[in-house]
Amino acid sequence: MTATESLRQRAAQTPLGTFLVVLATYSALIFMASYTVFGSEFPTLASLPYAWGPMISAGVTVWLLDESLRDWLGQLRRVRAGFLWYLGGLGIVLIGTDFEPIVASILGIDVVVQAGSSVPFTDYLFYFAVTLFLAGAIEELGWRGFMQPRLQRRFRAVTASMVIGIVWALWHVPLMFAGAGTFAGFQEYILMTIAMSVVLGWLYNNTDGVLPVVMVTHAASNMTAIGRVAGNRPAVFEVLSGNVLFYLLCATLIALYAGSRTLTRDGTIPEVPGQRSEQSLQHAD
């Protein structure tokens, strides 16, 4: 048996384990190389190859499984999901990002609009495009485009989403250590990522695996807040920041409304992209 055949056999036994091993190996190599070059002055652009980790790891695993890379990548071409799903995803993250200023404004607390001054609109759009096509959003080829449909074959969709959220958050730890990008406190970031993962899992399942809906939502969630609280923050935000509270609320309501088993009202989940078999992955019970 050749080394490739041995790797393929192991991947067939544990696809998700293979994905995680490849992800950890690739991410460690990229991080060490970048940190060796840049040290503590780790620029944000240097994190781009690191952001490709979930996509590359999923691609390698799909290849080892002898599944269809074309079909797996073909998720990027599936854009038809209904305008409301795109709008819903964007609406959730835009409200979440500015939840503190929104609540403060309702309570009569001073709020400063900062987008357009400290964050020019053209720069805002440029950063969104970079995030969508080159950085964070393409992580979704690994998170939702690979892990979600496979985990859902064994666990409830909400459990699968939470597991992905934990892996997603822990995978970002080296970037936090290097100071690349802007992150909340570690505990809050873990909670926010888990809650956001449930929201993204809900979008993925209800659009029958239309990955661009998830990618657009992911990219929008990385954008800078439009407003900033200028006065005293409401006391509740001293416990948890506004975006964390909002995403936790959304994830809870989604699980209660759609059901934790599939996160869909009709009880179905998407098929595993790239698999050559025609086995149905729907849960109707």
Angle, CA 16 vertex, CA 269 and CA 248 arms, to 5°: 55
The pLDDT confidence band at residue 178, using thresholds 50, 70 and 90, is: low
Q: Cα dihedral angle (272, 276, 279, 280), rounded to 10 degrees? A: 40
pLDDT of residue 238: 84
User: pLDDT of 212-245, one tens digit each?
Assistant: 999 999 999 988 888 888 878 888 888 889 999 9
Does residue 46 surpass a pLDDT of 80? no
Phi/psi class of residue 239: alpha, beta or left (left: φ > 0; alpha: ψ in -120 to 50)? alpha
Does residue 254 surpass a pLDDT of 70? yes
pLDDT of residue 182: 56
pLDDT of residue 37: 81
Angle, CA 247 vertex, CA 198 and CA 45 arms, to 5°: 85
Q: Which position has the higher pLDDT, 250 or 179?
A: 250
Does residue 184 surpass a pLDDT of 80? no
Whole-structure pTM value: 0.90
User: pLDDT of 69-90, one tens digit each?
Assistant: 999 999 999 999 989 999 999 9
User: pLDDT of 126-150, one tens digit each?
Assistant: 888 888 888 889 999 999 999 999 9
